[in-house]
Amino acid sequence: MLTAPDHVNVIEFKASTMWVEEEGLVCVVLKEKKASRSVSDVKASIEKFKEATGHQKCGVLIDATHLPDFNYQVREYLGAEFPNLLSAMAVVSATPEGKLKAVAFFNMLAQPYPVRVFDHTEEAKEWLRLQL
């Protein structure tokens, strides 16, 4: 659903791929569910994310097609970290399962920034641009 343009620097993580588009929009694509999702792996990915974004809050577009069932510790960690990293989040998914998991995740851990799930990438990007 979400693919990196040829002209951007793509950063690979164990469980995701990330790039920053020209207008500063951060895009993240979650990899297949087989990738490790331990707390230590997630913490390492968050540190790389912070470095890539200059430790600044940003708008994130995430492709949740392969969103896993995070364990309690990972959900709690992400719930605590996301408010320090994100100013807004748009979620897209090629599967109903990915959308459902994203909605459930944000219903369990309410966030102080806007979050919205979309069917189409361009619609999600436009909404994010308005949030920034």
Q: Distance from first CA to last CA of the chain, Å, rounded?
A: 23
b or e along 49-74 (b: 16 or more beta carbons within 10 Å of the residue's beta carbon)? Answer: beebbeeeebbbbbbbbbbbebeeeb
H-helix or E-strand spanning residue 8 = none
For residue 32, give every residue at least 6 positions away whose Cβ sits within 8 Å of its Cβ, in sequence order, or none: 66
pLDDT at site 75: 84
Per-10-residue mean pLDDT for the chain, 132 residues long? 86 89 88 74 90 92 87 87 94 89 79 91 94 87
pLDDT at site 71: 82
In a domain, 54, yes or no: yes
- How many structural domains comprise the chain? 1
Hey, what are 80's tokens?
A: 């605590």
pLDDT at site 27: 95
In a domain, 80, yes or no: yes
In a domain, 1, yes or no: no
pTM of the model: 0.88
In a domain, 110, yes or no: yes
Range of the domain at 118: 11-131
> Which domain CATH number covers 115?
3.30.750
